[in-house]
């Protein structure tokens, strides 16, 4: 079965960090964007395999919205 999952990827001085806000604790890191994307896909697949189907549906039905805001700092 295929699912669409929200993933946040952050870059810092150590590389990349990725996590899924819908699935608490599902996170990983990598030295490159390609590596972190491969790692989070594997982490998601393993995480979802451990959940009963009804729990998968419950967690993945949460809608995650993201936006970018411009803010003014005095």
Report how far residue 37's alpha carbon sits from residue 71's, in angstroms, rounded to the nearest whole number.
Answer: 29
For 12-22, what is each residue's pLDDT tens digit?
999 999 999 99
Confirm or reject CATH 3.30.160.250 for domain 8-60, answering yes or no: yes
For 21-69, what is each residue's pLDDT tens digit?
999 999 999 999 999 999 999 999 999 999 998 999 888 888 888 888 9
The DSSP result for 4-31, as a single string, is ----EEEEETTEEEEE-TTSTT-EEEES
**Residue 52 corresponds to which tokens in the numbers above?**
């009963």
Report how far residue 69's alpha carbon sits from residue 42's, in angstroms, rounded to the nearest whole number.
Answer: 31
pTM: 0.83
Domain boundaries, the chain: 8-60
Q: What is the DSSP letter of 51?
A: S
């Amino acid at each position: 079965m295929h699912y669409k999952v929200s993933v946040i990827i952050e870059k810092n001085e150590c590389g990349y960090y990725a996590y899924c806000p819908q699935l608490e604790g599902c996170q990983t890191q990598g030295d490159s964007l390609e590596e972190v994307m491969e790692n989070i896909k594997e982490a998601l697949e393993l995480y979802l395999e451990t959940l009963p189907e009804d729990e998968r549906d419950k967690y993945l039905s949460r809608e995650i919205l993201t936006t970018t805001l411009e803010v003014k700092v005095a």
